């Protein structure tokens, strides 16, 4: 299954992507995670990206498209993948279509995770991520058993720099302007499905499985 997850920052795409990985055994390709790793590794790309990410802006298309192309060519993507956070605008979506049509492997589904705007802010400010395994928590809705410590691997939980309040507003604006039009884009292609992203993580996941026909 070749799947794109759409949705505003904080809609829970990453959390659901990880559950889909476990169920279907296909990789999650998160451009945000790839960029954060480059930042943590201190590569030249990471240094350049951090400045943009901290402002809540989008990293240049040519950079992310290059990263995704490289990732899609890897062996573990042969049976499908979950794209999480890519594409982020129409130019990226068109380039992805071009690459996939050259590979003769078009997308199967674009799944939009829909969450009310007012809920997004609380979700984003409460979000904490594990430094070790990237597992996500929310101090309001799904806290870890021990504050600041990952239930899964014992790693340290941290708040992403771009989950601070000033940056979040900009990220939501960028989403509205650049990314939300993709709902129409995939709707016109006839591969759009939508899921209501409210309720418990498991409830949402069950809905997704039903929508995907599993």
Active-site residue set? 13, 88, 127, 160, 171
Q: In terms of CB distance, is 55 or 206 closer to ligand AMP? A: 55
Q: In terms of CB distance, is 67 or 195 closer to ligand AMP? A: 67
Stretch that binds ligand AMP, among 19-27, 39-47, 57-65, 114-122 (CB under 6 A): 57-65
Name the minimum Å distance from CB 158 to ligand AMP.
14
Name the minimum Å distance from CB 63 to ligand AMP.
8
Q: For residues 23-42, which are near ligand AMP according to CB under 6 A?
A: 31-32, 35
The Cα angle at residue 2 between residues 124 and 209, in degrees rounded to 5: 65
Cα torsion 134, 199, 117, 113: sign = positive
Q: In terms of CB distance, is 92 or 112 closer to ligand AMP? A: 92
The crossing angle, in degrees rounded to 10, of helices 44-55 and 31-41 is: 120
Give the residue from 145, 117, 120 showing the smallest Cα distance to 130.
145
Q: For residues 168-207, which are near ligand AMP according to CB under 6 A?
A: 171
The answer to whether residues 35 and 140 touch, using CB atoms and an 8 Å cutoff, is no
Q: In terms of CB distance, is 117 or 146 closer to ligand AMP? A: 117
The crossing angle, in degrees rounded to 10, of helices 61-72 and 90-102 is: 30
Q: Is 4 in the site for ligand AMP (CB under 6 A)?
A: no
Give the residue from 175, 181, 164 showing the smallest Cα distance to 57.
175
Q: Is 162 in the site for ligand AMP (CB under 6 A)?
A: yes
How far from 132 is each of 40, 150, 151, CA to CA, in Å? 12, 8, 11
Q: Which residues contact 86 (CB under 8 A, 6 or more apart)?
A: 4, 29, 30, 31, 64, 68, 92, 96
Q: For residues 64-93, which are near ligand AMP according to CB under 6 A?
A: 64, 85-86, 88, 92
Name the minimum Å distance from CB 9 to ligand AMP.
5
Q: Is 127 in the site for ligand AMP (CB under 6 A)?
A: no
Residues that bind ligand AMP (CB under 6 A): 9, 31-32, 35, 52-53, 56-59, 64, 85-86, 88, 92, 162, 171
């Amino acid at each position: 299954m070749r799947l794109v997850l759409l949705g505003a920052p904080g809609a829970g795409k990453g959390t659901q992507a990880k559950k889909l990985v476990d169920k279907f055994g296909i990789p999650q390709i998160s451009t945000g995670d790839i960029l954060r790793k480059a930042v943590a590794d201190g590569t030249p790309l990471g240094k350049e990206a951090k400045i943009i990410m901290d402002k809540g802006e989008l990293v240049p298309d040519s950079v992310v498209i290059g990263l995704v192309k490289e990732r899609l060519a890897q062996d573990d993507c042969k049976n499908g993948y979950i794209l999480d956070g890519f594409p982020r605008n129409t130019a990226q979506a068109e380039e992805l279509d071009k690459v996939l049509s050259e590979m003769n492997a078009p997308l199967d589904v674009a799944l939009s995770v829909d969450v009310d705007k007012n809920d997004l802010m609380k979700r984003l400010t409460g979000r904490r991520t594990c430094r070790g395994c990237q597992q996500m928590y929310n101090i309001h809705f799904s806290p870890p058993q021990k504050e600041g410590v990952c239930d899964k691997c014992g790693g340290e939980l941290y708040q992403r720099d771009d989950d601070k309040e000033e940056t979040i507003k900009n990220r939501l604006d960028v989403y509205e302007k650049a990314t939300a039009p993709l709902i129409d884009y995939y709707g016109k292609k006839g591969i759009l499905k939508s899921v209501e992203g409210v309720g418990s993580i498991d409830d949402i996941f069950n809905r997704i499985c039903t929508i995907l026909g599993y």
